[in-house]
C-alpha cells in the first residue's frame, strides 16, 4: 500500500516563476539585460582600480561561467554570487576590497528582486488551492539570486505565505537532484519521502532525483517541455489550472 501524499514540493524557475519574464520590463525601463548589467557592474568596479578591456573580461566571464556549470551539473553545487565573482577575479589575477566585492555580489543578487519576473499564469490560484490540504515547500537551485532574494520575490507576489519550508541550494549546500535538498524539505515539513510529490520542469533534477528517494514526481511543461517525451514522471501537467487535480489523482 502506498503512502498518502501529505506534502508537495515545487521547483521555482519555470514552474512557479516565469524565468526571464523580467527582461521585457528591463527593456521598457531602459535598463540593460541581466547578463549585460552583471558584466558592466564588474567592468566598472575593476576599472575604478585598474583598467581592463571588455574583451578580456568577456573571455574571463566565459571561463568562469563554464566552471560554474561544470560544478553545478557535475557535483550538484551552486556557487554563491560572491564565490562566482571570486573565481572570475582569480582568473583575471585581480582583487577587489571585501566591501566592494560584497556590494557587487549584492547588486547582482538583487536584480530579480528589484525588477521581478512574473509568476506563471494560474500559479497563485493552484498553490492557494493545494495549500488547503497539503504542506508546501520550495526546492530550488539558486543560480544568481540567493535564497533570501527568492523569499522576497515570492513574498512580493503574495506567494510566500503558502509555503511552510524553503530548500535553496545556496543554503542547503547542494543543488538538485542531491538528496540533501529533499531531506531539507522533508525535515521542514515533518514528512517522509514516501509522503511527498515534487513538481518541476526538468526530468533529471525534478523527476529522477525525487523518484530515486521514493517520492512521486510531476513534470510541469507550461514553459519548458523539452523532457516530456522521455520522462519517468508519475504525471505530466501542462498548466497550473490542472495541477491540483493532478496531485489529488496521484493521491487517490
For the sheet containing 7-10, what is the strand order? 165-168, 135-140, 7-10, 196-200, 216-220, 235-237
Domain residue limits, the chain: 7-19+118-251, 23-114
> What's the confidence (pLDDT) of residue 1?
43
Q: Which CATH number fits domain 7-19+118-251: 3.10.580.10, 3.40.50.1000, 3.20.20.70, 3.40.50.10420?
A: 3.40.50.1000
Convert 1-14 to b/e letters by CB count within 10 Å (16 or more is b): eeeebbbbbbbbbb
In order of 34, 56, 93, 105, the CA distances from 48 in angstroms are: 21, 16, 16, 16
Please give the chain's pLDDT, 252 residues, in tens: 457 999 999 999 999 999 999 999 999 999 999 999 999 999 999 999 999 999 999 999 999 999 999 999 999 999 999 999 999 999 999 999 999 999 999 999 999 999 999 999 999 999 999 999 999 999 999 999 999 999 999 999 999 999 999 999 999 999 999 999 999 999 999 999 999 999 999 999 999 999 999 999 999 999 999 999 999 999 999 999 999 999 999 998
In order of 64, 74, 104, 107, 123, the CA distances from 82 in angstroms are: 12, 20, 8, 11, 31
> What's the confidence (pLDDT) of residue 252?
85
Contact 105, 206 (CB under 8 A): no
| Residue with the three cell numbers 526530468 | 203
Contact 215, 208 (CB under 8 A): no
Contact 142, 244 (CB under 8 A): no
Amino acid at each position: 500500500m502506498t503512502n498518502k501524499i501529505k506534502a508537495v514540493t515545487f521547483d521555482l524557475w519555470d514552474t512557479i516563476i516565469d524565468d526571464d519574464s523580467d527582461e521585457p520590463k528591463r527593456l521598457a525601463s531602459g535598463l540593460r539585460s541581466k547578463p549585460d548589467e552583471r558584466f558592466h557592474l564588474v567592468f566598472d568596479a575593476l576599472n575604478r582600480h585598474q583598467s581592463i578591456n571588455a574583451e578580456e573580461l568577456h573571455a574571463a566571464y566565459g571561463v568562469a561561467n563554464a566552471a560554474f556549470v561544470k560544478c553545478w551539473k557535475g557535483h550538484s553545487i551552486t556557487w554563491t554570487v560572491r564565490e562566482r565573482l571570486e573565481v572570475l577575479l582569480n582568473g583575471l589575477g585581480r582583487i577587489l576590497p571585501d566591501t566592494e566585492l560584497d556590494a557587487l555580489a549584492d547588486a547582482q543578487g538583487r536584480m530579480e528582486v528589484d525588477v521581478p519576473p512574473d509568476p506563471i499564469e494560474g500559479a497563485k490560484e493552484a498553490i492557494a488551492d493545494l495549500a488547503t490540504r497539503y504542506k508546501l515547500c520550495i526546492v530550488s537551485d539558486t543560480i544568481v539570486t540567493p535564497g533570501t532574494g527568492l523569499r522576497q520575490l515570492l513574498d512580493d507576489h503574495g506567494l510566500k505565505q503558502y509555503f511552510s519550508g524553503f530548500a535553496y541550494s545556496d543554503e542547503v549546500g547542494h543543488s538538485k537532484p542531491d538528496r540533501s535538498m529533499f531531506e531539507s524539505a522533508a525535515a521542514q515539513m515533518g514528512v517522509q519521502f514516501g509522503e511527498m510529490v515534487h513538481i518541476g520542469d526538468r526530468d533529471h533534477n525534478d523527476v529522477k532525483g525525487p523518484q530515486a528517494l521514493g517520492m512521486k514526481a510531476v513534470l510541469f511543461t507550461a514553459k519548458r517541455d523539452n523532457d516530456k517525451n522521455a520522462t519517468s514522471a508519475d504525471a505530466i501537467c501542462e498548466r497550473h489550472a490542472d495541477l491540483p487535480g493532478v496531485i489529488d489523482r496521484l493521491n487517490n
